Amino acid sequence: MVLNVGGNSKHVGIPAHYDGWVHHLLDIDARGSPDILCDARELASQPAGTYDAIYCSHNLEHYRHHDARRVLAGFLHVLKDDGFAEVKVPDVLAVMKKVVAEGLDLDDQLYVAPSGPIQVRDVVWGYGVEIEASGNDFYSHKTGFSPKSLTAFLENAGFAEVFLDGAGAERLEVAAIAFKRAGPNPHKSLFDLA
């Protein structure tokens, strides 16, 4: 069973390696009809040891750094002992390097996403179109990560093993797989991890 934290709606796909898994959606925004309407900082209020996996794509940066630690503590709380978290966040370091290398300004287009053009400011402070349309501050970005800082953040939270997807920088994101316990784990085969 996988808990999609902050996935907005079940109409927004999750990776194919979760095909056939029971998929629960946790979100703070009721518009996406989540299974669990909850702020991810309150995950510790959910039953312990329920999920095999957490999928959290482009959500962790929406919390202040100290609150993101609470989110990760909640991940560990709801994960089974052999569980893992798949976390994706913008790679602020890669974005900064691209901005400098290409001489981009805050209002310049960084890339085009399925939702439309993404400006430099959208990665730094949150997707402006969504923030304006919803009027909700929870869509703002309040912290940022690099590969090194996300790895340390996950390890300091209590995850025993953290693996990074080396291709993440090309997508201007950091993608990590963090296991609750070290050692052999049947879920590692999903990601070709030793």
The total of structural domains in the chain comes to 1
Check which CATH number belongs to the domain holding 83 and give it. Answer: 3.40.50.150
Report the greatest alpha carbon distance in the chain: 49
Provide, rounded to the nearest whole percent, the portion of the chain with pLDDT above 90: 77
- HSE value, Cβ hemisphere, 13 Å, CA-based, for 139: 14
119 falls within a domain: no
The Cα 192–Cα 194 span in angstroms is 7
| Local structure of 6: helix, strand or coil | coil
105 falls within a domain: no
pLDDT of residue 194 exceeding 60, the answer is no
Taking only the tens place, the pLDDT of each residue in 105-120 is 999 999 998 889 999 9
147 falls within a domain: yes
pTM over 0.85: yes
121 falls within a domain: no
Taking only the tens place, the pLDDT of each residue in 134-168 is 888 888 999 999 999 999 999 999 999 999 986 66
178 falls within a domain: yes
Q: Is the dihedral of CA 115, 87, 59, 36 positive or negative?
A: positive
Domain holding 87, by residue range, is 2-91+142-191
10 falls within a domain: yes
The Cα 55–Cα 185 span in angstroms is 17
With tokens 């050692």, the residue in question is 183
Check residues 110 and 11 and name the one with the higher pLDDT.
110
CB atoms within 10 A of CB 30: 8
pLDDT of residue 135: 86
Element of type H or E holding 73:
helix 65-78
47 falls within a domain: yes
28 falls within a domain: yes
Q: Rg for the chain (alpha carbons), in Å?
A: 16
At 169, the pLDDT band (50, 70, 90 cuts) reads low
Cβ atoms of residues 3 and 31 within 8 Å: no
